[in-house]
Chains A and B, each alone.
Chain A
Amino acid sequence: AQKVTQAQTEISVVEKEDVTLDCVYETRDTTYYLFWYKQPPSGELVFLIRRNSFDEQNEISGRYSWNFQKSTSSFNFTITASQVVDSAVYFCALSEAGTASKLTFGTGTRLQVTL
C-alpha cells in the first residue's frame, strides 16, 4: 500500500532562513509520481511540483528546490531565503500507476515564517 510520511508537524523559521521540508514515501510500484502542494491560510490547495519515478534530477524554481532520491524514498522540498508569504501548510503526495491516479497525501508540515 502506498504511504507518505511527513514527520515534521510544524517548523518555525525567521525570514531569510533556508528551510527543508521532508517527505518519505512507500510504494511497491516502479511507476509513480510525487507531488508537493501548498495550502495557505486561505485554504486552497496550490500545486507546486510533480516528479515521476524515472526522473531523479533535482529541480529548482526560483527560491524553491526539490531533491528526489529513490535510494532513500525521499522527495524533500527546500525553500531558500524564506519569506512571510511562504507561511502555509505543505503537503507531499504520491500517485501510483493503476490507482486511477488518486493522490495519497502526507499529514502536512505547517511552516511559520516570522520577521
Chain B
Amino acid sequence: DSGVTQTPKHLITATGQRVTLRCSPRSGDLSVYWYQQSLDQGLQFLIQYYNGEERAKGNILERFSAQQFPDLHSELNLSSLELGDSALYFCASSVAIGVGYEQFFGPGTRLTVL
C-alpha cells in the first residue's frame, strides 16, 4: 500500500458525460501528479500540482482539468468524454518538487466510456 488513495476504483459512463476522479496523496506529500495509461498511448504524464499550484502540464486535453485543494487532495475532471478517454488514470504523490523525488502511485481509477 503506497498510502495514495484514489476513488472511485472503477467508473463506467457514456460519451459526452463528465466525471471527477479524486486523489488523496500520502500524508505529508505536497506534490500530486496525474498520469493516464491507455493501450495506444502508454503511460503519459498529464499534470502536476504542488501545494495547490499547477507546476507542469503534459499531454492533457483541454476537456480535462485538475486542481489541488488546501487539504492537498486533488481532483481530475474529465468532460465531454469520448470513447478514446477510456483508460487507467493514476495519481502519484511526492514529498516535494524536484527531480529525483520518488513518486508513490495510487491504485488507479479505471474509466470506461461506452
Q: A44-B108, A104-B45 provided; 4 other pairs, C-beta below 8 A?
A: A47-B105, A52-B100, A101-B31, A101-B103
Query: Is B100 a contact of A102 with CB atoms below 8 Å?
Result: no
Distance between A75 CB and nearest chain B CB, rounded to angstroms:
14
In the complex, A91 Cα to B100 Cα: how many Å?
Answer: 16
Q: Which residues of B contact A31 (CB under 8 A)?
A: 99
Over the window 1-32 of chain B, the binary record of Cβ atoms lying under 8 Å from chain A Cβ atoms (1 yes, 0 no) is 01000000000000000000000000000010
Interface string of A72-115 (1 = CB under 8 A from B): 00000000000000000001000111111111111110000000
A95 to B58, CA, bound (A): 13
Chain A residue at smallest Cβ distance from B46: A102
Structural contact, B99 and A99, CB atoms closer than 8 A: yes
Smallest CB–CB gap between A37 and chain B, Å?
8
> Between A and B, how many residue pairs show CB distances below 8 Å?
69
Mark A residues whose CB is within 8 Å of B. 31-33, 35, 37, 43-47, 50, 52, 91, 95-108
* Minimum C-beta distance from B45 to chain A (A): 4
B residues less than 8 Å from A47 (CB atoms) = 102-105
Q: In this complex, what residue of A is CB-closest to B42?
A: A107
Contacts of A52 in B (CB 8 A): 100
Return the chain B residue nearest A104 by Cβ: B45
Interface string of B80-114 (1 = CB under 8 A from A): 00000000101010100111111111111010000
Q: Are A50 and B102 in contact (CB under 8 A)?
A: yes
* Complex: chain A residue closest to B33, CB-CB: A102
